[in-house]
Amino acid sequence: MSEIAGKPPIDHAFAGERRGGAADPTYAGALSFMRRPYGKAVAGCDLVIWGVPFDLSVTNRPGTRFGPQAIRRASAIFDGDPQYPSRIDPFARLAAMDYGDCALPRGDLPGSARAIEAEAAGILATGAHLVTLGGDHFVTLPLLRAHVARHGKLALIQFDAHQDTWDDGPGGIGHGSFVLEAVREGLIDVARSIQVGIRTVAPRDCGLAVIDGYEAQALGVDAVAERVRAHVGDGPAYLTFDIDALDPAFAPGTGTPVSGGFTADQALRLVWGLRALDIRGMDVVEVSPPYDHADITAIAASTIVQHHIQALALKKGG
């Protein structure tokens, strides 16, 4: 691929380096996440971004199988610039690749869980930090299995409108029951785990701390972030961000919207406020593009991931 007038070629996703920003025009080029090069040979990477296009376990509106595509598309706006609020190029410090999407057996929920866990485990075995683009919230369960096998038991930091502790019966794990199953399997350190932004009533809390929607608004962003940091402490954690933690005005494209949630600004400041924690992996889930408008939800989701990546880069140093 040749350069024109001294400028680098577009389609950094095909031919780019693992480090450094890209120069693709926002409106053109292959759409990987933040223009990271696509590839499966990720040994030596600090960061791998991966999609899980899945919506077999939704209980209301479908469409999250299109979430990874939409989040990647929205991330093009970040192309090649120093990132806010860190004001750094995170990829000057992090070697990063987009692994593409997980291959899933159609219509097979147990098989999908096995495929997600196995592929995640393979990525984690290289030593990379894994960021996953969902997909409905069921995908977090096999992701936790893979991360815990690599890192040991983790605290769960969950931004969500729902506690996801419903019991779907034997073998019936859905996007509203992954937390209950994770607790039953001993995957998470319950004493250090916390759910933030909850605006529905579940039959059980499974021992996790909860900051509900009204309490979060009364406390304010800084106090909520401080409470999460104090509760999780210095131990390893996993961050899962269900986009319905945001109010439907800021995230209409989701399967189970609940009024009264965070603004996009509040959500981003909360994620940024947790940047010092030892987060070993993260996902953003429940983006359903068929119900989105003007990519509002996808933009919010991609920016949440972008903030997390900046936090990783700051820890890496330069």
Residue 7 inside a domain? The answer is no
- Residue 4 lies inside a defined structural domain of this protein: no
Look up the pTM and report it.
0.93
Residue 182 resides in a domain: yes
Q: Cβ neighbours of residue 167 under 8 Å, at least 6 residues apart?
A: 177, 180, 203
Domain that holds residue 281: 12-316
CATH number for the domain that contains residue 137:
3.40.800.10
The answer to whether residue 2 sits within a structural domain is no
pLDDT in tens, 196-222: 999 999 988 899 999 999 999 999 999
Indicate whether 302 belongs to any domain. yes
Structurally, the chain folds into a number of domains equal to 1
**Does a structural domain hold residue 1?**
no
Residue pLDDT tens, the chain, 318 long? 444 455 556 788 887 777 777 777 788 888 999 999 999 999 999 999 999 998 887 888 889 999 999 999 999 999 777 999 999 999 999 999 999 999 999 888 889 999 999 999 999 999 999 999 999 999 999 999 999 999 999 999 999 999 988 887 766 677 778 999 999 999 999 999 999 999 999 988 899 999 999 999 999 999 999 999 999 999 999 999 999 999 999 999 999 999 999 999 999 999 999 999 999 999 999 999 999 999 999 999 999 999 999 999 999 876
